[in-house]
Amino acid sequence: MFLKQSMAIIFGSLLLSIGINCFLVPHHLLDGGIIGLALIVHYYFEVQAGLAMILLSLPLFIYAWFFKRVYFYNSLHGLLVSSLLIDWLSPLRTFIHMPIFPSMMTGGLFIGFGIGLMLRFETSTGGTDLLAHMVSKATSINAGVLIFIIDGIVVLLGFKTLGLHTFLYSCGVITVVGATTALIVHKKRIE
């Protein structure tokens, strides 16, 4: 299981990093959750997005350390690898030039597939993925649905700073991410 989990972390983080750097950042789009909050910090304070993810995830990791240690261990590697890849692959931001709508769709698919892949193997990037995973296990609500709800709240909080145009496309991003993640995680439950 460790090897499969490690491969899921690497490939999931790579997909997530490509989705963020190639498709979201060039248009200043947001995902939700900790990633979305990290992107807001990146856009407005020029802090590296991966570093911001680590800093913003600290409270959830502290909680997991004391109350859900298995989630702490299963998510720490995902957070570190995805954050590192997001920052290392930041030069990709100028590599692909697509209009905003295809970027929204493609970025959402990459991110959703990356998160879903990690969740299928009982790991995540931490942050709200970790929160959704803990709530999902406790309630049997699909983690993808929970991520979608949390992501919607984060993007809604960012509405004032985003402007209507970017806000609407960011809503599209979280819809695609949530649907893709739910599909990937649901497929695991069927098997």
Helix (H, G, I), strand (E, B) or coil at 95: coil
Q: Mean pLDDT in the chain?
A: 88
* pLDDT tens digits along 76-100: 999 999 999 999 999 999 988 999 9
The per-residue pLDDT for range 106-146, each reduced to its tens digit, is 999 999 999 999 988 888 887 776 777 778 878 888 877 78
- Dump the DSSP string for 115-162: HHHHHHTT---SHHHHHHHHHHHHH---HHHHHHHHHHHHHHHTHHHH
Q: DSSP characters for 85-104?
A: HHHHTGGGGGT----HHHHH
Q: Is 80 exceeded by the pLDDT of residue 17?
A: yes
Q: Which band of pLDDT confidence, cut at 50, 70 and 90, is reported for residue 68?
A: confident
* % of the chain residues with pLDDT over 90: 54
pTM: 0.89
3-state SS class at 27: helix
Q: Confidence class of residue 189 from pLDDT cuts 50, 70 and 90?
A: low
Q: How much is the pLDDT for 42?
A: 93
Report whether pLDDT(167) > 70: yes
What kind and span of H or E run contains 165?
A: helix 164-190
Here the tokens at position 34 are 């900790």
Sequence-ordered list of residues with C-beta below 8 angstroms from that of 119, at least 6 positions apart, any chain: 129, 133, 143, 144, 181, 184, 185, 188
